[in-house]
Structure 1
């Protein structure tokens, strides 16, 4: 394979790569060679993929290549990195924690099994904050993941490694997960697409809490159609997850490619829950209004969501007690302060505190359903600030307003987590200093098809974000 064709492959979309695989113009093994060279060239600057497993990937690819083209699954041999929170058989899986720095599971998460059954070739683990806590990707095992658009800035998180790998051409598709925006925030900061699916759209597990409703796994890619393709390779019931939905009859990619326009959408600059940097609010409002170009009605509106940040804080606290409480008792000295605070806060809650949160979450859900009777989609900024300096632990202030905890700056995405709706972040423009901005688009529960289809319509109208890029040490001020 010539150098120029390697470059062309890196620049290609996942759908184009799948087409080449299906026409036998490239093999899964060749794609692995291309990625290995690309990672060697650029990942040292961003630290997106700290654990590589190319031997495992090549063995898997060779087995796949023995099958007929028709039997290679939805992805047909496209290589995929797995977030370092998710167990992958025979591959170091640390969760970004010194407690598990040397863990190599002898089993794979149900979702990894599903992806591999659908033709995904796992070649790397992507970096994440410790236990995925916090929307800035740094941990004591592998260090910090940097933003490819400006290496002095954060890639966000907790799927920061996944987003940075996509943006630098070290991945065509990337797996991630999202509790308080962890697929959406890094997509926004890195100029790629991240989809938090509906509750339990995908089967994962086994886990310490198979009945939980806050954290969901999902796809990231460089554009909407690629994201839909990857979602198709992730869905399907598995008994490791008692709440998982069966796969839909129509593929998400085919629905996405129909580019079905919504009739009427709502835009909110802040969902009534958070301060937002005025430049970000302006860029996102401008992007939402682009829907009018194709005859969609755009109105400023939002359901009443003001209690969502407090609800999320309590339910997240409970989740942390369930998932990480035993680790605090055994390894307090090996946990970062933010996680200790989160668990101890959860333990301070009374049954009545949690009952209030559950009741109020129910009210928000029904309010959203009434809202969706009038509007097809709800649009708002994905992140409230542009990418921040990599040395900062989290956003402490926005638009002159102080933010108290490490999760406060995520209210615009964590509020949507509570609604059970699917939500996607798509690139929608750049700040004056050239940093990417994401628009969050929220659909009806189990409405990924219409959501992706509408996002595909808008993506076509919005200015193009030309990923992948070679990492930039800084951006020239304009």
Structure 2
């Protein structure tokens, strides 16, 4: 596969530099992105609601600001996709639910407003599962989103539309969010970078369960440097979020320099508890052999995450009980199968279950802090399987063993969600079926800048090794193709 060379394929960091130096215009960049969208989006269904007239007006205003010599925001003139779970003023926002099929918000939520204020040209909403439930991007409003390397397979989720748009050069940066792996899993399946920040680093005024730290918003880009650029716009302090603390978002604009040769690194195939397909285990071991020499020390070691499955199941269910009660009481059929499964699982739980889950989460968190006294990073696979057909809602078995829930196959990522640590999905070559392989890079508590810096350093090192370099989808197989993703 050859690397595409059109303007829309240039990195977000370089595009922003070129806009600032008047080498390119935001208008011509937007038109390049629109051309790519028209060519390949029908083959994958990544971008859903669009307002190209509004985007063109915004691009023209961005061009005028450059020509006037105005102070330019960190995302100035960059065409951007916003996940369809985030309220976007004047642009249809459905959350993937028929209940909100015609919903057009009157104002941006906090994160979207910050991205727009940083100069982003918002082009489209990116597809997501219904209410973001699950890691297969499909819903009854827009249908499914296909993988850029094989549209018959899943792209991951729930930030799947964003990941696909980035992988195919439709947009240079996109937003995402993550509870059980929704930034990391689609990034891994699509060969791009997704970063789950520490809770509160990207403040949210939308999270209904404000004191629960498992759901966060964050950046996606083709590289860690591009994701860092988006992070600079998203991060900051806002008292609307109880986890927010004073932070300079612009500190993320350029990845922190990290010398891999000085790092002590642990790696694990399964975090000690997660089901992982044997072929993925073998692929990961092969990757470790290829990259372990980059570090001062790279040894197999696993933190004790305790009863991570029970902890996540309870904490996740609590949020569903709070959010969906009115609709469930009115008519459970208004909610999709995944949402109903979470809600009904919550109905079977007790206050004792809730208390035990919080206690176990705290104990595991403290054990992981002790683990990070000996290591700078923890590495593991992002996903336990290769992308499967999008017509299959979720994985039911791994290595012949039946899974606990529809989201149990996300254990590699939700195990880290439980601890609150920052984690980045980094492209790391391909797997046994020549699909993208994602490496999960977990950093220390509140070490967001360090984790993104380490991810950037790894991507640079991997680029020199064909077996680890970021894979590029073949656009020639998608140009002009129209696929049917109805569900």
Q: TM-score range by the shorter chain?
A: over 0.9
Question: Would you say the 8 A contact 1:167–1:469 is kept in 2?
Answer: no
What is the RMSD computed on CA atoms of the aligned residues? 1.9
Where does the alignment leave 5 or more consecutive residues of structure 2 unmatched? 463-467
Q: For residues 225 and 426 of structure 1, what CA distance do their matches in structure 2 show?
A: 11
Q: Which residue of 2 aligns with 1:208?
A: 208
The equivalent position to 1:470 in structure 2, one of 471, 475, 480, is 475
Moved more, 57-66 or 8-17: 57-66
What is the deviation of 1:258?
5.2
Q: For residues 162 and 350 of structure 1, what CA distance do their matches in structure 2 show?
A: 37
The equivalent position to 1:47 in structure 2, one of 45, 48, 53, is 45
C-alpha change, 1:259 and 1:328, in structure 2 (3 Å) is farther
Q: Which residue of 2 aligns with 1:100?
A: 100
Give CA deviations for 1:69-96 in whole Å, capped at 9, x if unaligned: 5512011211110000000001000000
Q: For residues 295 and 267 of structure 1, what CA distance do their matches in structure 2 show?
A: 12
Q: For residues 69 and 296 of structure 1, what CA distance do their matches in structure 2 show?
A: 47
What is the deviation of 1:62?
2.9
Q: Which residue of 2 aligns with 1:134?
A: 134
Q: Describe the SS at the equivalent of 1:64.
A: helix
TM-score between both structures, scaled by the size of structure 1: 0.94
Q: Describe the SS at the equivalent of 1:373.
A: coil
Q: How does 1:37-436 map to 2 (within 5 A)?
A: 37-67=35-65, 68-69=68-69, 71-248=71-248, 251-257=251-257, 261-436=261-436
Provide the aligned length of Structure 1 versus Structure 2.
469
Moved more, 249-258 or 165-174: 249-258
Q: For residues 451 and 209 of structure 1, what CA distance do their matches in structure 2 show?
A: 26
What is the deviation of 1:289?
4.3
Q: Describe the SS at the equivalent of 2:415.
A: helix
Question: Would you say the 8 A contact 2:292–2:298 is kept in 1?
Answer: yes
What is the deviation of 1:259?
5.0
Q: For residues 326 and 261 of structure 2, what CA distance do their matches in structure 1 show?
A: 48
Give CA deviations for 1:257-290 in whole Å, capped at 9, x if unaligned: 5556552010000001122122222222333444
Moved more, 385-394 or 426-435: 426-435
Where does the alignment leave 5 or more consecutive residues of structure 1 unmatched? 1-5
Q: How does 1:6-17 map to 2 (within 5 A)?
A: 7-17=5-15
What is the deviation of 1:8?
2.4
What is the deviation of 1:55?
2.0
C-alpha change, 1:202 and 1:299, in structure 2 (3 Å) is same
What is the deviation of 1:253?
3.9
Question: Would you say the 8 A contact 1:261–1:453 is kept in 2?
Answer: no
Question: Would you say the 8 A contact 1:228–1:256 is kept in 2?
Answer: no
What is the deviation of 1:177?
0.4
Q: For residues 86 and 250 of structure 1, what CA distance do their matches in structure 2 show?
A: 22
TM-score between both structures, scaled by the size of structure 2: 0.92
What is the deviation of 1:168?
1.1
Q: Which residue of 2 aligns with 1:3?
A: none
